[in-house]
């Protein structure tokens, strides 16, 4: 029997698959000197809250890990380096009837293949408001910011309950949750589980499939895009509209918890971008050492900010 060819007509390359962010991140931090592996949140079951009313009569909010722009906190613009000084450590909210300038310089999105120029790729409020004008949904009066926290306990015991309380105060029926970095995906997954367990239907729109499924969320729309683009492609309104529409369809039609739907949209014909994110095979010893120094400096900035905020 002849072994199957690796070059079969029509087959995709073997590495054209969702990035294994948990493994990639674990290997990266070990390579820069952090030898204790991070424990990612893991569940084998998820709560499930069916829609309590038709979507057209449902009050919908957004939960984001993006941060409000603050000119006092250094460079937060497109192409900005990782900025630990722009982090936030308490839940915040914003008026959905107004425009907001939210940035993602404080988290580890894919800075090689996306530049964070278009907030429509991580904050779908404009698209949500458009659907409301069309009578498709009702937008809740506030959206909510979830602090990206490596501490599962803080997210589960402090931040998720706070977001739930604010959602309940606004009589929210549905939450669309949009993460950015790897840890953001874990944070958002834990918040989604808490909201769902307390009667609010949720759908996560994200790019880190392994992290979200490891945490076991009720509903997940997976876009195989670089981190930072959970709500669609930059400068592509049609992509952003389609991504939100598909997320709401998942919300309406998911038959049970742990339903994942993959968007048919592709970032590009060439999947080579998937090889780059924190891939130690492509980094020299000098580059790894430089990144360790930079990470330590940003970690200290973030630690001081956290202590000041406490």
Contact 279, 24 (CB under 8 A): yes
Does residue 293 belong to any structural domain of this protein?
Answer: no
The greatest distance separating any two alpha carbons of the chain, rounded to the nearest whole angstrom, comes to 68
Does residue 289 belong to any structural domain of this protein?
Answer: no
Does residue 32 belong to any structural domain of this protein?
Answer: no
Q: Residue 205: give the domain boundaries.
A: 55-262
H-helix or E-strand spanning residue 219: strand 219-222
Q: What is the CATH number of the domain that holds 156?
A: 3.40.50
* Half-sphere exposure in the Cβ direction for 309 (13 Å, CA): 14
Tens place of pLDDT per residue across the chain (310 aa): 444 445 677 898 888 999 999 999 999 999 999 888 999 999 999 999 999 999 999 999 999 999 999 999 999 999 899 999 999 999 999 999 999 999 999 999 999 999 899 999 999 999 999 999 999 999 999 999 999 988 999 999 999 999 999 999 999 999 999 999 999 999 999 999 999 999 999 999 999 999 999 999 999 999 999 999 999 999 999 999 999 999 999 999 999 999 999 999 999 999 999 999 999 999 999 999 998 998 888 888 878 877 777 6
Enter the pTM of the model.
0.94
Does residue 301 belong to any structural domain of this protein?
Answer: no
Give the model's pLDDT for residue 1: 41
CA distance 25 to 167: 32
Q: What is the b/e burial string over 24-46, where b = at least 16 CB atoms within 10 angstroms of the residue's CB? A: bbbebbebbeeeeeeebbeeeeb
- Our count of domains for the chain comes to 1
- CA of 159: how far to CAs of 79, 144, 163, 214, in Å? 29, 11, 6, 20
Does residue 87 belong to any structural domain of this protein?
Answer: yes
- Residue 307 Cα to chain centre, angstroms: 25
Does residue 3 belong to any structural domain of this protein?
Answer: no
Give the model's pLDDT for residue 297: 86
32, 238, 209, 290: which is closest to 121 by C-alpha?
A: 238
CA distance 202 to 306: 29
Give the model's pLDDT for residue 310: 65
């Amino acid at each position: 029997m002849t072994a199957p060819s690796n070059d079969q007509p029509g087959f995709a390359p073997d590495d054209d698959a969702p990035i294994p962010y948990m493994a990639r991140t674990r290997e990266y931090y070990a390579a820069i000197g952090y030898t204790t592996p991070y424990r990612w949140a893991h569940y084998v079951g998820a709560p499930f809250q069916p829609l309590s009313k038709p979507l057209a009569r449902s009050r919908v909010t957004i939960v984001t890990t993006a941060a409000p722009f603050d000119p006092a906190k250094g460079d937060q613009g497109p192409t900005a380096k990782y900025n630990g000084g722009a982090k936030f450590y308490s839940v915040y909210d914003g008026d959905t009837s107004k425009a907001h300038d939210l940035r993602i310089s404080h988290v580890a999105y894919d800075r090689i293949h996306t530049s964070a120029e278009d907030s429509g790729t991580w904050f779908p409020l404009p698209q949500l408001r458009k659907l409301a004008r069309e009578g498709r949904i009702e937008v809740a009066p506030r959206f909510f910011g979830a602090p990206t926290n490596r501490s599962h306990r803080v997210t589960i015991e402090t931040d998720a309950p706070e977001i739930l309380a604010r959602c309940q105060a606004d009589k929210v029926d549905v939450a669309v949750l949009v993460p950015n970095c790897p840890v953001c995906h874990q944070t958002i997954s834990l918040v989604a589980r808490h909201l769902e367990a307390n009667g609010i239907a949720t759908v996560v729109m994200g790019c880190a499939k392994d992290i979200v499924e490891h945490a076991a969320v009720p509903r997940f729309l997976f876009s195989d895009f670089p981190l930072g683009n959970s709500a669609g492609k930059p400068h592509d309104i049609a992509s952003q509209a389609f991504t939100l529409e598909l997320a709401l369809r998942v919300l309406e039609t998911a038959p049970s918890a742990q339903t994942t739907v993959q968007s048919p949209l592709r970032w590009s014909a060439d999947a080579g971008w998937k090889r780059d994110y924190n891939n130690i095979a492509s980094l020299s010893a000098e580059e790894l050492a430089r990144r360790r120094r930079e990470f330590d400096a940003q970690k200290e900035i973030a630690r001081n900010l956290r202590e000041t905020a406490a």
